[in-house]
Amino acid sequence: MMEKILEVKDLNVSFNTYAGEVQAVRGVSFDLKQKECLAIVGESGSGKSVTAKAIIKLIHDPGVIKKGSSIKYLGEELANKNFDQMRKIRGSEISMIFQDALTSLNPTKKVGHQVAQSLIIHQKMGKREAFDKAVEMLRFVKIPNPERRANQYPHEFSGGMRQRAMIAMALVNKPNILIADEPTTALDVTIQAQIIDLLKDMQEELNTAIVMITHDLGVVAGSADRIAVMYGGMIVEQGPKKEIFYRPKHPYTWALLNSVPRLNTKSKETLYSIKGTPPDLIQPPLGCPFAPRCEFRLNICNEKMPTAYPIIEGHDAKCWLLDERAPKVKVFERLEV
Amino acid sequence: MAKYFLKRLIYAFFTVFIVITITFFLMHAIPGDPLGELVGRLPQSVQESYYAKYGLDKPVYQQYFIYIQNLFLRGDFGESIVYPGRSVNSIIARGAPISARIGIQGLAIGISLGITLGIIAAYKRGKWMDYFVMFVALFSISIPSFVFAAVLQYFLTVRYQIFPVTGWGTFAHTVLPAMAFGLRNIGVKARFMRSTWLDVMGQDYVLAAEATGMSKFDVTFKVILRNALTPLVTIIIPELAFIFVGTFVLETIFSIPGLGTYFIAAVSARDYPMIIGQTIFISTLYVTSMLVLDFVYVLIDPRVRLIKK
């Protein structure tokens, strides 16, 4: 069994707003093993992006990572590190790429210099040397003409090329973990596939583990080893990709998988959608956050959040239906993705 | 690149030319003339020679061509009517540096304090410091500079005799008018800088820069400040043209022999050459500052470098 390089336990992140404390992430726990790709999926507002940023503590005022949260990187606790201690890890051990590469690259700095940035910071390289290394890195992420491209500004890059440059920037120090916050959302489908392929190649060559944040199950199917499904600031189900796709246990996962449009959907058929809206995280529900939208809701669902029921090794779900006292429900015939 | 700027230069020239033309004909379209009061009770022949002296006996279009000819061939704005014997050129040459000095000092106070306060407010968003700075800013914008000038005069010259009340000559004379002029600027700049700074701070590339392990210092000065600079320069450069205009009222209050004193006298006396001359002077400055802005833009914002070098 491979070594765990990241252990997140009971992560709580809140934002103090005028309206009240928004509990964006409520007790999230997961592990990441070496070279593994963990996909965190969920709809907007489920807390997946906040979870990702919390790993390298890029949570800014008014957001706070609450006491009791634990983020262990190679056994080292990150939760109580300050900004300067975190700096040593950011960009060298754990890197992050963002959704929209256009807005995540500094518009006033040449792409080559941006890629060189973390080399100068972490490897104490000289500017010239770092820039040459950056050009190599751009070549490595398959940007054609890297010598010329390195001297250009982000606005001279296409969307896909920008995301490649972002990836180069994040991976230039060969980090152990790459956090990818919806890396393909802003791209069109053909480019999406290329970026996913690139990330997989990089993962192979640099032995980087990836935390992939996405709402696109297609992306997950193509890249993930394990999947964590988030809803209302919690992980409601997690397990190996095959388990989640073929033997999901949580009604939210069912609903999510059911909403994926299929090639064999008849043209007149209405696309499935989950009725209702996600919960208000200023006053999060006592019970299961999905209960109000759940077709299989039991009385207890509104009152108490279930603990995780283990299904098989590495697969568990938080749903009362998995309790032995719960009525058996027949959910679905077969899901294909 | 050179072609682009040549084009801009030609446009700028035409803009000024149009301003000259419009001002000239507008001035002459107003009923009455600058000599009416002066020569009203003089005999007919003396009146006529007065008009002839200033060329006002000729039809307006002829006057226009003579004016344009003098202006473009010799850079001559003509002779003042209110101040006989003095050319408009010499009045501008004497008054402009004085007005500019107050304007530049005031702008320096406004920009430096305003930007600093704005950045502090942005970092302390939602805290009492932010509210305090924004209150001061609103306060400084709402108070007209002449009111503030009177308050300054009372406290810093009457109650505590630190600075001279009025007049011109030493550095001490420039302090109060510059402060009165700068005050409003502090508020405007602070509010502008706060919102720009917050906007840049919220950009993904700032987060991405932090994710590379950059220090707080580098993030602030190499990323945020660098990107907040573009909008700031956009509002500061055009203001450089107005350092001559903004001080007009203050010059009267502090009895400063700047452009404003002459300009106000010229308008009330309908002194054609003075009014047109000063209008050309200021509009040329403004158009030039716009031209400079275009140059500076190319230097500081790579996205503007659209034309192949």
**pTM summary value:** 0.81
Chain B residues near residue A150 by CB distance under 8 angstroms: none
Q: Give the DSSP H or E segment for A129.
A: helix A127-140
Domain boundaries, chain A: 4-224, 234-322
Q: What is the CA radius of gyration of chain A?
A: 21
Structure tokens that stand for A59 in this block: 């949570």
Residue A176 is classified by DSSP as: S
Q: What is the ipTM of this complex?
A: 0.85
Go through the domains of chain B in sequence order and give each one's CATH number. Answer: 95-267 (1.10.3720.10)
Residue B152 CA to residue A320 CA, distance in Å, equals 74
CB-based contact (8 Å) between A119 and chain B? Answer: no
Find which of A108, A148, A185 to mutate to test the B interface (most B CBs within 10 Å of its CB). Answer: A108
Among chain B residues, CA nearest to A114: B209
Contact B303 A107 (CB under 8 A): yes
What pLDDT, on a 0 to 100 scale, did the predictor assign at position B306? 59
Contact A98 B203 (CB under 8 A): no
> How many Cβ pairs within 8 Å bridge chains A and B?
76
Chain A residues near residue B230 by CB distance under 8 angstroms: 108
Three-state DSSP at A333 gives coil
pLDDT digits (tens), chain A, 337 positions: 568 999 999 999 999 988 889 999 999 999 999 989 999 999 888 999 999 999 999 998 889 999 999 999 998 999 989 999 999 999 999 999 988 878 899 999 999 999 999 999 999 889 999 999 999 999 999 999 999 999 999 999 998 899 999 999 999 999 999 999 998 888 888 888 889 999 999 999 999 999 999 988 888 888 899 999 999 999 999 999 999 998 898 999 988 888 887 777 777 778 888 888 888 899 888 899 999 998 888 889 999 999 899 988 889 999 998 888 888 776 654 444 3
Chain centroid to CA B34: how far? Answer: 27
What pLDDT, on a 0 to 100 scale, did the predictor assign at position B309? 44
CA distances from A188 to A141, A159, A163, A184, A194 (A): 19, 9, 12, 8, 10
Q: Could you tell me which residues come within 8 angstroms of residue A316 by beta carbon, excluding any fewer than 6 positions away?
A: A237, A238, A239, A308, A309, A310
pLDDT digits (tens, 9 = 90+) for B119-137: 999 998 888 999 999 999 9
pLDDT digits (tens, 9 = 90+) for B99-120: 888 889 999 999 999 999 999 9
Contact B300 A104 (CB under 8 A): no
**B11-18 average pLDDT score:** 91
Residue A202 CA to residue A159 CA, distance in Å, equals 19
Contact A222, A194 (CB under 8 A): no
What percentage of residues in chain B have a pLDDT greater than 70?
Answer: 98
Smallest CA-to-CA distance from B100 within B251, B271, B209 is with B251
CA distances from B10 to B4, B5, B74, B118, B287 (A): 10, 9, 20, 38, 11
CB-based contact (8 Å) between A106 and chain B? Answer: yes
Contact B205 A100 (CB under 8 A): no
Smallest CA-to-CA distance from B208 within A268, A117, A231, A133 is with A117
Residue B95 CA to residue B91 CA, distance in Å, equals 6
Residues found in chain A: 337
Residue B88 is classified by DSSP as: H
Contact B212 A98 (CB under 8 A): no
CB-based contact (8 Å) between A87 and chain B? Answer: yes
Chain B residues near residue A106 by CB distance under 8 angstroms: 205, 208-209, 223, 226-227
Which member of B209, B215, B300 has the closest CB to residue A106?
Answer: B209
What pLDDT, on a 0 to 100 scale, did the predictor assign at position A334? 46
Contact A88 B301 (CB under 8 A): no
Is the pLDDT confidence value at B74 over 80?
yes
Contact A105 B208 (CB under 8 A): yes
Residue B157 is classified by DSSP as: I
**B48-76 average pLDDT score:** 84
What pLDDT, on a 0 to 100 scale, did the predictor assign at position A336? 43
Chain B residues near residue A166 by CB distance under 8 angstroms: 208
Chain B residues near residue A87 by CB distance under 8 angstroms: 213-215
CATH class of residue range A4-224: alpha beta
Contact B211 A117 (CB under 8 A): no
